Structure 1
Amino acid sequence: MAAASLSQLVKGLARLSILNHAKSRQYFHTSGIVDGKAKFIKLAINVDRYTLRPIHLPKSGGRGYDGRIQTHGVGGGHRQCYRMVDFKRIGPKTGEPLVERVLDVRYDPCRSADIAVVAGGEKARYIVASENMKSGDLIKSSGELKKITVKAIEGDSYPLGSLPLGTLVHNIEIYPETGGRVARAAGTCGQLIKKIGDRCIIRMPSKREMNVSEECRATVGRVSNIDHNKQHIGSASRARWFGIRPDRGWKQKKSGYNGRKIKPVKPVVIHRTPKAPASAIYKDTV
């Protein structure tokens, strides 16, 4: 009898595992400190299963998974739903490009730019809409790096090495086939100004330049909603509707005399190899 109970105890201990509380709570968005039964709940968005359905987005209140403030001035606001925007405009590397039709251009409360619903074959997805994109347009996505430059049409996606100099681009990759990371906000774009070997130089609106591979893809044109920076909120109550909390009021608005001084342009940013992935081993720190 004692031997049987001892064997059951050993089997039970074998099933035990160390639970990393930070790992189990990193996707739990909350406006307060996570405690009690709620700290083991996972409310992560399954990114492996794509859907056009708007997904409920819990408010974070500017707090991280540990309940501490990470972004000040954020809280409240109207309820929002997350749309899974696909930033990877990856097309075939050989043959004809992928052709998709724009079904609709919609407003997205989670970003400053508009998004477009595009479909090709049996698949539909959200992408960042360009400035003049409208329903019924046909857009192309190609991954073929051509020696002769292609005709740059707004909304099409090509490797930077296939585009002519002077082209305005957005949704720019910094590493090949990793998805657009730069120039995704409303009205933003970069300009392809130079090609050096297998590298391309892009000038951003801040006059700073970045050096990326010619295989990095980008979408031709400027991001939609170009008048976003001219939007006037108008009242404090409308600011709270957008989830913007009031300032402390101690710092007054500066006159034209005060402000930032003219500084030299920063050096070129060179993106060659992506960073190594984070280690799966978790260490306890004091």
Structure 2
Amino acid sequence: MAIHLYKTFTPSTRNGAVDSQVKSNPQNNLIYGQHRCGKGRKARGIITARHRGGGHKRLYRKIDFRQNENDIYGRIVTIEYDPNRNAYICLIHYGDGEKRYILHPKGAIIGDTIVSGTKVPIKMGNALPLSAISSSTSRKPYALEEACTVWEGVLIDQKDESTSTDIPLGTAIHNIEITLGKGGQLARAAGAVAKLIAKEGKSAALKLPFREMMMVFDERGDDERRERDNGGVMVERKRKS
């Protein structure tokens, strides 16, 4: 991405450098205001975290961390600045008329196309499952979790856009799901990248940015947990004792 350098007119503009291709006018139907409460105070108004609060007003951009527009191609229209995160975001126009924000993949430029699905090219910006487990063979514990696969964006740039059902080992990935259908939660910061190092059955081993190994499973046990209601704190304490 091109860098725009400023001439020195005042001490505050010395050595200034910004990205010249990044715009800051967000899509109106993808933003909403938010009330920044707290400001480092607790309920009594006493400062518990110093040097918090203030700053410019922010509009929150709704980011699509799930990328569940399966087999529908989208085009990168803009690369925008997001005040709520240190990574840039992209405005995607899909073929069905849908408009969404996603995290900006490394190296993606305006005009590139992306797609999500189980049989899409292994290409930068595309979203694929970690393991080749189709939704017909996997169990669907909840009505909202129709796609029982783990999705993430791909950061690699391969010359051969081979079509596969899963991501090969050694691939650099980001925006990784932990819970099915919840959206990406790992490797979302600017410059963050994880590496797929092993796959076994319904689980995948990842090397995370902070050099920690983690297993990502296709499903979790005790899927009826949300249906239980203990009724009170004492019931929960007696159950744990």
Which of residues 68, 73, 78 is equivalent to 1:99?
A: 73
- Aligned mates of 2:49, 2:203 — CA distance in 1: 36
**CA RMSD across the alignment:** 3.2
The equivalent residue for 2:124 is: 154
Matched, 1:53 2:31: yes
How far does the alpha carbon of each residue in 1:67-87 deviate from its partner, in whole angstroms, 9 at most, with x for none?
676755421112211111111
Which of residues 65, 71, 74 is equivalent to 1:87?
A: 65
How far does the alpha carbon of each residue in 1:112-138 deviate from its partner, in whole angstroms, 9 at most, with x for none?
110111111221011111111221110
CA offset at residue 213 of structure 1? Answer: 2.5
Do the aligned partners of 1:175 and 1:273 also contact (CA within 8 Å) in 2? no
How far does the alpha carbon of each residue in 1:193-226 deviate from its partner, in whole angstroms, 9 at most, with x for none?
00112211000122211111358xxxxxxxxxxx
One-letter amino acid of the counterpart of residue 92, structure 2: V
Do the aligned partners of 2:31 and 2:59 also contact (CA within 8 Å) in 1? no
- What percent of counterpart residues are identical? 33
Q: How many residues align?
A: 171
- Aligned mates of 2:85, 2:40 — CA distance in 1: 16
Do the aligned partners of 2:81 and 2:88 also contact (CA within 8 Å) in 1? yes
- Aligned mates of 1:132, 1:65 — CA distance in 2: 45
CA offset at residue 51 of structure 1? Answer: 3.0
- Aligned mates of 1:65, 1:110 — CA distance in 2: 24
CA offset at residue 279 of structure 1? Answer: 5.8
Matched, 1:113 2:113: no
- Aligned mates of 2:75, 2:42 — CA distance in 1: 39
After superposition, the Cα gap between the structure-2 partners of 1:190 and 1:80, relative to the gap in structure 1 and judged at 3 Å, is same
* 1:123-134 matched pairs, under 5 angstroms: 123-134=98-109
One-letter amino acid of the counterpart of residue 164, structure 1: P
Do the aligned partners of 2:187 and 2:209 also contact (CA within 8 Å) in 1? no
One-letter amino acid of the counterpart of residue 206, structure 1: F
Answer with 1 or 2: which has the greater Rg: 1
Which of residues 170, 173, 187 is equivalent to 1:166?
A: 170
- Aligned mates of 1:152, 1:73 — CA distance in 2: 45
Do the aligned partners of 1:194 and 1:200 also contact (CA within 8 Å) in 2? yes
The equivalent residue for 1:10 is: none
Give the structure with the higher percent strand: 2
Do the aligned partners of 1:176 and 1:213 also contact (CA within 8 Å) in 2? no
After TM superposition, the score normalised by the length of structure 1 is 0.52
The equivalent residue for 1:78 is: 56
Q: What are structure 2's unaligned runs of at least 5 residues?
A: 1-27, 132-165, 235-241
Give the structure with the higher percent helix: 1
- Aligned mates of 2:67, 2:102 — CA distance in 1: 8
SS in 1 for 2:206: strand
SS in 1 for 2:185: coil
- Aligned mates of 2:44, 2:229 — CA distance in 1: 20
How far does the alpha carbon of each residue in 1:142-180 deviate from its partner, in whole angstroms, 9 at most, with x for none?
1x3x6xxx6421110010121000000100001222200
- Aligned mates of 2:223, 2:105 — CA distance in 1: 27
The equivalent residue for 1:258 is: none
Matched, 1:138 2:113: yes
* 1:1-286 matched pairs, under 5 angstroms: 51-63=29-41, 72-92=50-70, 97-120=71-94, 121-142=96-117, 144=118, 151-161=121-131, 162-213=166-217, 276-277=225-226
After superposition, the Cα gap between the structure-2 partners of 1:56 and 1:167, relative to the gap in structure 1 and judged at 3 Å, is same
After superposition, the Cα gap between the structure-2 partners of 1:136 and 1:57, relative to the gap in structure 1 and judged at 3 Å, is farther
